Structure 1
Amino acid sequence: MKEHVLAAVTMLAVLTILTGLIYPLAVTGLAQLLFPEQANGSLIVRDGRVVGSRLIGQFFDKPEYFWGRPSATAPFPYNAAASGGSNLGPTNPALIDAVKARVAALRAADPGNESPIPVDLVTASGSGLDPHISPAAALYQVKRVSRARGLDEGTVSALLNRQTEKRQFGLLGERRVNVLELNLALDALPR
């Protein structure tokens, strides 16, 4: 019996050191060596201070900024500590009511815009933290943002085109726009 207990305790100690110390340190070291920006949160720094991350969305509601996807995180939007979707199915009355309210809010914010509203402006992503919107969702907002900033729509559209990211490796994913980076580029435009 003593041999079995000693073997079990030895195995516990070895595996604890291997999986609890050596493996995490090796993975962290490799990440820092090969992907330092991502390993450190893909932070965006402006004027010496961190303004956000390329990987986590932020809440914008002023008319002079592009707005991202709705976030289903609690207790506040884009809460990275509470990543998750709403888990509401497409026929759930709560989801239908939420989408109707979001459509009404978008129409109220830009009353002259009769364009169809892209789905990513009225539905949350699976994580609730998505920092990107589709080019169509950004294009829908160009008139409102241009008007609020007193800028020509062509200037804002050209900036949007420059900020649109291509598919990864030319085939993975969809074209997308990082909302924070687009809004920072807007702030950098001369008025």
Structure 2
Amino acid sequence: MTSILRPALVLFVLLSALTGLLYPLAVTGAAQALFPAQAAGSLVVRDGKPVGSTLIGQNFSDPKHFWGRPSATAPMPYNAGASSGSNQGPLNPALTEVVKSRIEALRAADPGNTQAVPVDLVTASASGLDPHISPAAARYQAARVARVRGMPAERLEQLIADHTETPLWGVLGEPRVNVLALNLAMDAG
């Protein structure tokens, strides 16, 4: 029996060390060497303090800021520890109600805006943490933000254009605007 058990235990210990220690250390080391900003969480630092990450949405609710996609994490929005989708399908009455309430909130924040509300402003992303909105969603909010800040609309349109990211290699994904980067650019002047 020991002739069978001993090689199995030795193999178990070796594979545990290889896959549980050596491989994770090698991958972590390579990631930190090749992609230091991403490996550190893609943190955005202002005045020596982290103010957010370019990878996780922030809960902006002040009318002077652009608002991101709704978060599906509960009870605290944009909680990376609770990342998940809402799991509500398009025929779910609960989704219909929450979308209606989000549209009403957007209309209440900017009653003069009669444009169609972009879908990404009223629906959560799959992870519930999306830091981006579409350029259309940014333009939808531009009049409100310009009015509240007393900022020329043309300047705001230029900031949106400057912070619009293009699809990867020109074909993968859609144009998008990182809400944190745009809001920080506005706050900087």
TM above 0.5, one fold? yes
Taking every aligned residue pair, what percent have the same amino acid on both sides? 63
Report the equivalent of 1:82.
82
DSSP 3-state at the match of 1:38: helix
Report the equivalent of 1:111.
111
Report the equivalent of 2:148.
148
Report the equivalent of 1:30.
30
DSSP 3-state at the match of 1:8: helix
Report the equivalent of 1:94.
94
DSSP 3-state at the match of 1:44: strand
Report the equivalent of 1:176.
176
2-side partners of 1:171 and 1:94: how far apart? Answer: 35
Deviations 1:18-50 (CA, angstroms, capped at 9, x unpaired)? 000000001001101111111110000001100
2:105 is the alignment partner of 1:126: no
Report the equivalent of 2:69.
69
Give unmatched runs, 5+ long, in structure 2. none
Q: Residue type of the partner of 1:161?
A: A
Q: Residue type of the partner of 1:46?
A: R
Q: Residue type of the partner of 2:137?
A: A
| Residue 170 (structure 1) shift | 1.1
Q: Residue type of the partner of 1:22?
A: L
2-side partners of 1:70 and 1:32: how far apart? Answer: 31
2-side partners of 1:42 and 1:162: how far apart? Answer: 20
DSSP 3-state at the match of 2:181: helix
Deviations 1:136-186 (CA, angstroms, capped at 9, x unpaired)? 000000000000101111111111110111111111111000000000000
DSSP 3-state at the match of 1:52: strand
1-side partners of 2:75 and 2:97: how far apart? Answer: 19
| Residue 98 (structure 1) shift | 0.2
Q: Residue type of the partner of 1:116?
A: A
Report the equivalent of 1:19.
19
1-side partners of 2:152 and 2:127: how far apart? Answer: 35
TM-score relative to the length of structure 2: 0.99
1-side partners of 2:89 and 2:166: how far apart? Answer: 30
Report the equivalent of 2:44.
44
DSSP 3-state at the match of 2:50: strand
Report the equivalent of 2:7.
7
| Structure 1: 4+ residue segments shifted above 6 A | none
Report the equivalent of 1:58.
58
2-side partners of 1:8 and 1:43: how far apart? Answer: 44
